[in-house]
Structure 1
Amino acid sequence: MTARHLIPLLAGSAFALAAPAFGATDDTLERGAYLARAGDCVACHTAPGGEAFAGGLPIESPFGIIYSTNITPDDEHGIGGYTEEEFAAALRDGERADGANLYPAMPYPSYANLTDDDVHALYVYFMQGVEPVAEQPPETDLGFPFNQRWGISAWNWLFADQPTFTPSASNPELTERGRYLVQGLGHCGSCHTPRGFAEQETALDDSDSDYLAGANLGEWWAPSLRGGSGGDGRGVEGWDTQAIVDYLKTGRNAHATVGGEMTSVIAHSTSHLTDKDLTGIAQYLKSLPANPAAEDAPSAQDRQRATNETEAHLTAAKNLSDGERLYLDNCAACHFNAGQGAERVFPPLNGNALANADNPSGLIHTILAGAKPPATPTIPAQLPMPGFAWRLSDDEVASLATFVRGAWGNDGDAVKAEQVADVRDELGDAPLNKAVDREGELNQTDGED
């Protein structure tokens, strides 16, 4: 169970991060504010339209709705009465000051690796650099037996065993800094590591090849972040270190433009990290051996041959299928006949992780509702993709998605109109293109720090 996949619920919450009450020379407060950015704490602890860190965000889980808590230093409704020891226990062990267990929507299994110095800096920041908010979030009220918080102790014993971080002398110092951020505050495994029968991450660190191997996240596919060699050459495996840095800093690189769940992560967290930390993260991801390629995975040569054939067929524009015709009418102006997109503007569809995912819902969602990259400190401009829900029927979206998933060497299965209808129903009257516009408001008000 994780909270990050519900970050889009923040859309419409026009907030700025609480202005830290510290001077430029106060290193501890400043470092705590930076670490809170790295942990993306504001994402889950801010309700739509609410005050920063005041909680109340409804987090969907397989067991019901969990509401995030108020982590401002308000004495009655927040954590103002927490000692540093109690704060550390909540952060690392998922234990409230009253001794009750937190639900593991809070990624304390990852935060368990935090060093004492970083826990201290976070404590100082939340106690002195965040404005207290006297607001009580809704109480989480799960059905039996999930309302029995004592049962989480067994879950913790079985699945939350991450030790405090110890750097390895066998790796470069900067790579180890990246490992610390990815496995800890970044809690990247919450989205990118498969889940087990009890909704636990099947691996919390790189001692297991499941770690960051890719996972379904609701209707989206969170792709593998294992960037070493030995796989099919797609995704992060085909990116160099600088490309990963560019993606995390701006939401764009030569290979991709961010969409879906990762948009808010980049907008509110990674785009504010230092280049040095981003380089460490990139080096660490590139040190992880890639997922082995499937036996029937097309080779790079096969994919290039298929790309050439698709491009030639679309260019000739003869004997087109419905999906090919729809692509030319609606998509080719930005993504082109070779499916390569435009570098740092329109993502390539050739080899696209969303297009090749087992679950096509994320691609369907994007076609119906559109997408917009975040406005980041280094690239504030946004060039959105419009949604086509108003224009294309379920059958047409299915035909278009099927074409995209099979063209240029992509190897995704065909899409059915019923699958499109399900995503359209879930979007309802407020498709993501409207939510993305509100995300733009967030980006304009998200604090200057």
Structure 2
Amino acid sequence: MKNMLKGLGAALCVALPILAQAPADAATPAGAGAADQALVQRGAYLAQLGDCAACHTAPKGKPFAGGLPMNTPMGRIYVTNITPDAQTGIGGYTEADFARALREGVAKDGHNLYPAMPYPSYAKVNDDDVKALYAFFMHGVAPVQQANRESDIKWPLNMRWPLMFWNMAFLQKGAYRDKPGKDVAWNRGAYLVQGLGHCGSCHTPRGVAFQESALDESGSAFLSGALLDGWFASNLTGEHNAGLGRWSDEDLRTFLKTGANRHASAFGAMTSVINNSTQALSDQDIAAMSAYLKSLPPVGGNGAPAYTYDPQATKVSLDRPANDAGARVYTAFCMHCHGVDGRGFAPMLAPLAGNPNVLAKDASSLINVTLNGTGDLVINGVPSPFPMPGFAAVLDDKQIADVLSFVRAGWNNGAPAVGAAEVAKLRQSTQAGR
């Protein structure tokens, strides 16, 4: 089980179409001549901050041309073309159209976007950053003629007009305002995390109407971890076991820049966030995000006492693996990377002892990554030498449940056991169509 643990969480960031298809006869927006290159470059940076490419670029597809399938509780959707093509992209959008779609979830033709697209977060983006993003997408992206694909959501759930009422209930309009009594770095970090970074879209639990339970630190559920599309996006509060309570500021900055630190390694959707977004951010912005996240009080967790490392009982089990089914699997498939002591070889190979994802109450991410593995972290163009392989074809449901139960109990982790039925359920949902 290489690079088992992801640290900041890996739920799918379900950014539905940011912008809808423009009419074929839409006029080219004003100002489509020579753009201010400094503004375009700033917009390119902001697009990286928002990780727009991860959702709007399909595997082997052209940049921002859409087509990537994404699962939602209502059915599968396909992200849209946001290149400046006038017929199939957003070439007909004015800056006002762009801003309305980005921050209010309303397309140029007036239809509402599904709230899985993180416009409740983008509502906090200020006017200057919207202007820069618009300049980038109009003048820094190559137009691609690629028609958008209709969603697989069935009637009546595919109707858009009820979303007007969803917006009335849950959309908080207005750009982020600096909080009094907080320094410049904290406010910058809050703006990035809550806004373009849209961290809450994955890491905050959702209510019955698929609304985020909190949009900022004033809500106790904010960034406390959430289950989404077969992954559990980690707790980003100061909780000691499953959160960032034991991470130093340097640990967090290192993770955002490289996807790995002494506590964990990125996997699942967080791999894409590291590859396409956070590694490219300035040191100043990374420090600001870390300062804000590290200020969040502890919320959630599994209710266990504060973690302390204790290898003795696990060492005894591994000395006699025939006495424990999980230990037998661990010895055969996991120990050469993660060690007898469970501490791995960080940052190349993630530790299992004390890792926030092992200690989390919800084991979905551990099951998912054990079944399906993860993609390569690619830092400065260099892929990770030890990506996590998938074991779906090698281990059955009981074996995976046994080994994860062994890991979650080992080295004083003290997390709940995993059942074979949990593994079977995730195997079925994540292996469908492979």
The answer for the alignment partner of 1:144 in structure 2 is: 155
Please list, as runs of the form range in 1=range in 2, the aligned pairs for 1:187-202 lying within 5 A after superposition.
Answer: 187-202=198-213
- The structural deviation recorded for 1:46 is 2.0
Cα separation, 2, equivalents of 1:375 and 1:23: 34
Q: Which one of the candidate residues 130, 146, 150 is aligned to 1:135?
A: 146
The answer for the alignment partner of 1:243 in structure 2 is: 251
The CA deviation string for residues 148-207 of structure 1, in whole angstroms up to 9 with x for no partner, is: 211101000101114211112411212211111100001000000000010110111111
C-alpha change, 1:97 and 1:185, in structure 2 (3 Å) is same
Contact kept in structure 2, 1:24 and 1:30, CA below 8 Å: no
Cα separation, 1, equivalents of 2:122 and 2:375: 30
C-alpha change, 1:179 and 1:80, in structure 2 (3 Å) is same
Q: 1:150 is paired with a residue of what secondary structure?
A: coil
After TM superposition, the structure 1 stretch with the greater mean CA deviation from structure 2, 27-36 or 384-393, is 384-393
- The structural deviation recorded for 1:372 is 4.5
C-alpha change, 1:85 and 1:256, in structure 2 (3 Å) is same
Cα separation, 2, equivalents of 1:318 and 1:217: 35
Contact kept in structure 1, 2:12 and 2:229, CA below 8 Å: no
Contact kept in structure 2, 1:241 and 1:283, CA below 8 Å: yes
Q: Which amino acid aligns with 1:35?
A: L
C-alpha change, 1:313 and 1:145, in structure 2 (3 Å) is same
Cα separation, 2, equivalents of 1:167 and 1:73: 33
Which blocks of at least 5 consecutive residues in structure 2 are unaligned? 1-9, 16-31
- The structural deviation recorded for 1:430 is 8.0
The answer for the alignment partner of 1:387 in structure 2 is: 390
Cα separation, 1, equivalents of 2:288 and 2:300: 24
The CA deviation string for residues 245-269 of structure 1, in whole angstroms up to 9 with x for no partner, is: 1111110111111112211111111
Cα separation, 2, equivalents of 1:264 and 1:223: 15
Q: Which one of the candidate residues 34, 43, 57 is aligned to 1:32?
A: 43
The answer for the alignment partner of 1:358 in structure 2 is: 361
Q: Which amino acid aligns with 2:257?
A: K
Q: TM-score, normalised by structure 2?
A: 0.87
The answer for the alignment partner of 2:404 in structure 1 is: 401
Q: 1:407 is paired with a residue of what secondary structure?
A: helix
Q: 2:311 is paired with a residue of what secondary structure?
A: helix
Q: 4+ residue runs of structure 1 moved beyond 6 angstroms?
A: 21-25
Cα separation, 2, equivalents of 1:326 and 1:59: 33
Q: Which amino acid aligns with 2:297?
A: P
Cα separation, 1, equivalents of 2:279 and 2:193: 15
Count of matched residue pairs: 409
Cα separation, 2, equivalents of 1:171 and 1:112: 21
Cα separation, 2, equivalents of 1:430 and 1:335: 31
- The structural deviation recorded for 1:413 is 2.5
Q: TM-score, normalised by structure 1?
A: 0.84
The answer for the alignment partner of 2:280 in structure 1 is: 272
- Over the matched positions of the two proteins, sequence identity in percent amounts to 45
Asked if residue 262 in structure 1 is aligned to residue 270 in structure 2, the reply is yes
Higher helix share: 1
After TM superposition, the structure 1 stretch with the greater mean CA deviation from structure 2, 135-144 or 108-117, is 135-144
The answer for the alignment partner of 1:80 in structure 2 is: 91
Q: Which amino acid aligns with 1:259?
A: F
Cα separation, 2, equivalents of 1:108 and 1:140: 19
Cα separation, 2, equivalents of 1:315 and 1:147: 53
After TM superposition, the structure 1 stretch with the greater mean CA deviation from structure 2, 421-430 or 27-36, is 421-430
Contact kept in structure 2, 1:162 and 1:204, CA below 8 Å: no
The answer for the alignment partner of 2:23 in structure 1 is: none
Cα separation, 1, equivalents of 2:304 and 2:148: 48
The answer for the alignment partner of 2:217 in structure 1 is: 206
Cα separation, 2, equivalents of 1:211 and 1:22: 43
The answer for the alignment partner of 1:422 in structure 2 is: 425
Higher relative contact order at CA 8 Å, sep ≥6: structure 1 or structure 2?
Answer: 2
Q: Which amino acid aligns with 2:346?
A: E
Contact kept in structure 1, 2:12 and 2:228, CA below 8 Å: no
After TM superposition, the structure 1 stretch with the greater mean CA deviation from structure 2, 234-243 or 381-390, is 381-390
C-alpha change, 1:155 and 1:332, in structure 2 (3 Å) is same
Contact kept in structure 2, 1:22 and 1:30, CA below 8 Å: no
- The structural deviation recorded for 1:399 is 1.2
Asked if residue 117 in structure 1 is aligned to residue 134 in structure 2, the reply is no
After TM superposition, the structure 1 stretch with the greater mean CA deviation from structure 2, 416-425 or 395-404, is 416-425
The answer for the alignment partner of 1:42 in structure 2 is: 53
Cα separation, 1, equivalents of 2:70 and 2:300: 33
The answer for the alignment partner of 1:369 in structure 2 is: 372
- The structural deviation recorded for 1:122 is 0.5
The answer for the alignment partner of 1:286 in structure 2 is: 294
- The structural deviation recorded for 1:25 is 8.4
Contact kept in structure 1, 2:254 and 2:260, CA below 8 Å: yes
Please list, as runs of the form range in 1=range in 2, the aligned pairs for 1:275-314 lying within 5 A after superposition.
Answer: 275-291=283-299, 296-300=303-307, 303-304=308-309, 307-314=310-317
Cα separation, 1, equivalents of 2:388 and 2:300: 33
The answer for the alignment partner of 2:27 in structure 1 is: none
After TM superposition, the structure 1 stretch with the greater mean CA deviation from structure 2, 325-334 or 35-44, is 325-334
- The structural deviation recorded for 1:334 is 1.6
The answer for the alignment partner of 2:414 in structure 1 is: 411
Cα separation, 2, equivalents of 1:172 and 1:213: 24
C-alpha change, 1:151 and 1:406, in structure 2 (3 Å) is same
- The structural deviation recorded for 1:321 is 0.9
Cα separation, 1, equivalents of 2:257 and 2:355: 20
Cα separation, 1, equivalents of 2:11 and 2:115: 9
Contact kept in structure 1, 2:311 and 2:410, CA below 8 Å: no
Root mean square deviation, CA, Å = 2.6
Q: Which one of the candidate residues 72, 78, 89 is aligned to 1:67?
A: 78
Contact kept in structure 1, 2:226 and 2:234, CA below 8 Å: yes
Cα separation, 1, equivalents of 2:299 and 2:88: 45
Asked if residue 342 in structure 1 is aligned to residue 353 in structure 2, the reply is no
- The structural deviation recorded for 1:60 is 1.3
Which blocks of at least 5 consecutive residues in structure 1 are unaligned? 8-20, 432-449
C-alpha change, 1:190 and 1:6, in structure 2 (3 Å) is closer
Asked if residue 96 in structure 1 is aligned to residue 107 in structure 2, the reply is yes
C-alpha change, 1:382 and 1:3, in structure 2 (3 Å) is same
C-alpha change, 1:429 and 1:250, in structure 2 (3 Å) is same
The CA deviation string for residues 310-355 of structure 1, in whole angstroms up to 9 with x for no partner, is: 3431464376311112212221222112211112111111122332
The CA deviation string for residues 95-138 of structure 1, in whole angstroms up to 9 with x for no partner, is: 11111111112211100011110000001111111111111111
Q: Which amino acid aligns with 1:261?
A: A
Q: Which amino acid aligns with 2:304?
A: A
